Chain A
Amino acid sequence: MAISVSGLRKSFGDQVVLDGLDLTVPSGTVFALLGANGAGKTTTVKILSTLLAADAGDVRVAGHDVAREPDAVRAAIGVTGQFSAVDKLLTGAENLRLMADLHGLSRRDGRRRTAELLDVFGLTDAAGKPASTYSGGMLRRLDLAMTLVGSPRVIFLDEPTTGLDPRSRRDMWQIVRDLVAGGVTILLTTQYLEEADELADRIAVLDHGRIVAEGTADELKRRIPGGHVRLRFADTQGVDTALGLLDDAARDNDALALRVPSDGSLTALKTLIDRLDERAVAVDELSVHTPDLDDVFLALTGRPAEEKVTSR
């Protein structure tokens, strides 16, 4: 196990942030902690990366206890936080060489590693420019590149794509996939369900400092009711007729729409359309929904994922 946590608790004053967290991450896998703001994701990363002391619980990272052997843990990990941890007055190359010096690489090895990482992260052209002139995506790439200078075995990525544009987000995902292919263990936190779905081998849903569900993306999806077809009608008469016709239909938030449970297969759709057709019910719009992690999140926490819990 690259990371094992049991019974982790942390409070700030009388506010309980982590309320008995358990998780294990096997070496060479990606584990996603999914949760809204304030769920305790960042606090977890801070404790696992030795920045913060736990109130209770057993936390081991890369085979070492974070409380008793913080130095051994620090020697094995790399952290890329939500806020860019780069020196903005230095250039990209200087930032990387600073890391190389701190990791005790020789001048030659440091330069080689710097050039290598600049290349991999597409920063070679900007290498000589101060980091203050970098775009958000470039800063995040430089940040991660700096984390990699010391070749960490366990990497923590705290909301690695928050605030990035879609293209930079996809670039970041590709970088993470390449890292995993290289054998490192990654624990990432995210509030984007799509991101956890794309990257993680296992996902834990964190809510109010507790893990409310854990499993692969597919396992989590299986835990909630199947998909549905959403029908939107031109008028209330259409809604009423359809309601009489389809016994398992339920009203949607939208007054003119219904949800009909369905697996989304062609046969099921054809049956549905035929039944509506017989009575000549005019359907404005039909859409098929397979369950995604948003549904999982809603089902598990009773809230949509986008709802922002007041962050500390």
Chain B
Amino acid sequence: MTAATIPRVHPLRDSVTMLRRNLKRMLRYPSMTVMLVGMPVVFLLLFVYVFGGTLGAGLGGGGGRAEYANYVTPAIILMTVMSAVQGTAISIAMDMTEGIITRFRTMHIARVSVLTGHVLGSVLQGLFAVAIVIGVALLVGFRPEAGPLGWLATTGFLAFMTFAFVWLCVALGLKSKTVETASNAPMPLILLPFLGSGFVPTESMPAGLRWFAEHQPFTPIIETLRGLLMNEPIGGHVWIATAWCAAIALGGYLWSKRLYNRQS
């Protein structure tokens, strides 16, 4: 039997198809999205209303709770993204236990589309969660100074950052043997913003911790977000943040690809 020429693969078309599949799955399983949005909203309310008065006074601007709402919102936005990518790791791990992934592997489609479908879906889900969290933040006193251009830059930066961490979590999800592991593996991503300039200025920390806080990737990311949203000078932070994100995206992508091709 001599076969006709093999049909071409269409990575873009297949990725869009897989994205549609993932968006449908998110709609059918909304509790995941609710959890992803709920967690940062709870933290936002906690930090603004419970700790906000005291922490705001410590910022030294005399603005109290209102000043702290502006200070902490970028960190909560970052936390929202980390919460969303934790969802990516969970849904990837869940998906890998399903027989349909095996079916995809026996089909003549762009192999990577299974992953890119998840990535695109998670980025959209993350941006959706961030939009809701920003909405809640505005209600509790967040007063951003960004103009249209600033918002545009914020959106672009957030999308790129989410994209980077989504790829990292795709790898973590693939690496995990169980859904439980996949849900725990990205935990450091939720905790790291606390060990940076997210909730208090790094100057207030003891020397060793301060050094770590100033050199870990989340601090420049938070400072970039803060600068864009509050229309303040960002300085070198944006380049350091972008470089970190690019490295994480590339590393996550290559690691994911290797893990996915190895599994069967």
- Do A and B assemble together? yes
Interface on A for B, CB 8 Å cutoff?
A: 1-2, 27, 46, 49-52, 62-64, 69, 71-72, 74-79, 81, 83-90, 94, 98, 101-102, 104, 130, 146-147, 150, 153
Q: How far is the CA of A90 from the CA of B99 in the complex (A)?
A: 14
Give the residues in chain B near A130, CB-CB below 8 Å. 28
Which of A63, A74, A79, A88 has a CB less than 8 Å from the CB of B98? A88
Q: How far is the CA of A51 from the CA of B111 in the complex (A)?
A: 12
- B28–A98 contact, CB under 8 A? no
- B98–A87 contact, CB under 8 A? yes
- 22 A-B pairs (CB sep. < 8 Å): A50-B105, A62-B1, A64-B3, A69-B6, A71-B9, A71-B108, A74-B108, A75-B7, A79-B103, A81-B103, A85-B98, A87-B21, A87-B100, A88-B98, A89-B24, A90-B24, A90-B28, A98-B20, A101-B20, A102-B14, A102-B104, A104-B13
- B28–A85 contact, CB under 8 A? no
Give the residues in chain B near A88, CB-CB below 8 Å. 98
- B24–A104 contact, CB under 8 A? no
Give the residues in chain A near B107, CB-CB below 8 Å. 74, 102, 150
Give the residues in chain A near B25, CB-CB below 8 Å. 87, 89-90
Which residue on chain B has the smallest CB distance to residue A82?
Answer: B99
Size of the B side of the interface (Cβ < 8 Å), in residues, is: 28
| B31 interface hit (Cβ, 8 Å) | no
Which residue on chain A has the smallest CB distance to residue B8?
Answer: A104
Extra pairs beyond A89-B25, A104-B10 (5, CB < 8 Å): A1-B1, A51-B105, A63-B1, A101-B20, A150-B107
Give the residues in chain A near B7, CB-CB below 8 Å. 75, 104
- B108–A75 contact, CB under 8 A? yes
Which of B3, B14, B20 has a CB less than 8 Å from the CB of A76? B3
Q: How far is the CA of A62 from the CA of B108 in the complex (A)?
A: 14
Which residue on chain B has the smallest CB distance to residue A131?
Answer: B100
Nearest CB on A from B11, distance (A): 12
Give the residues in chain B near A50, CB-CB below 8 Å. 105-106
Give the residues in chain B near A51, CB-CB below 8 Å. 102, 105-106, 264
Which residue on chain A has the smallest CB distance to residue B5?
Answer: A72
Q: How far is the CA of A49 from the CA of B104 in the complex (A)?
A: 11
| B54 interface hit (Cβ, 8 Å) | no
Give the residues in chain B near A153, CB-CB below 8 Å. 1
- B1–A2 contact, CB under 8 A? yes
| B109 interface hit (Cβ, 8 Å) | yes
Give the residues in chain A near B1, CB-CB below 8 Å. 1-2, 27, 62-63, 153
- B28–A63 contact, CB under 8 A? no
Q: How far is the CA of A104 from the CA of B8 in the complex (A)?
A: 10
Which residues B78-119 have CB closer than 8 A to chain A? 98-100, 102-109
Give the residues in chain A near B6, CB-CB below 8 Å. 69, 71-72, 75
Q: A75-B7, A86-B99 are in contact. Are A49 and B24 (CB under 8 A)?
A: no
Nearest CB on A from B17, distance (A): 4
- B10–A72 contact, CB under 8 A? no
Give the residues in chain B near A89, CB-CB below 8 Å. 24-25, 28-29
Which residue on chain B has the smallest CB distance to residue A90?
Answer: B24
Give the residues in chain B near A71, CB-CB below 8 Å. 6, 9, 108
Which of A46, A49, A78, A81 has a CB less than 8 Å from the CB of B99? A81
Which residue on chain A has the smallest CB distance to residue B13?
Answer: A104
